[in-house]
Copies of this chain bind each other. A is one copy, B any other.
Amino acid sequence: MSAPTLLAAVRDGTPLVHCVTNLVATNFSANALLALGASPAMVEDQAEAAELAAVAGALVVNTGTMTPERAEGMRAAASAARDAGTPWLLDPVGVGPLTWRTDVARRLLELGPTVVRGNASEILALAGREGRGRGVDATVAVDDAADAADELARRCEGVVAVSGPVDRITDGTRVVHVHGGHPLMGRVTAMGCALGALTGAFLAAARGTGDDPVAATVAAHAVVGACGAAAGVAARGPGSFVPAWLDALAALDARGATAADTLIDPA
Contacts and interface: CB of A to CB of B under 8 A. Distances in A.
B35 A94 contact: no
Contact of A238 (B35, B41, B52): B35
A24 B41 CA distance: 10
A45 B23 CA distance: 12
Contacts of A188: 31, 34
B137 A39 contact: yes
Contact of A55 (B34, B44, B45, B97): B97
A51 interface: yes
Contact of A237 (B27, B43, B247): B247
A31 B238 contact: yes
A16 B134 contact: yes
Contacts of A249: 237, 239
Interface in A65-119: 65-69, 94, 97-101
A129 interface: no
B52 A65 contact: no
A98 B42 CA distance: 12
A238 B34 contact: yes
A239 B35 contact: yes
A175 interface: no
Contacts of A40: 136, 189
Given A94-B41, A135-B41, A48 B238 contact: no
B26 A65 contact: yes
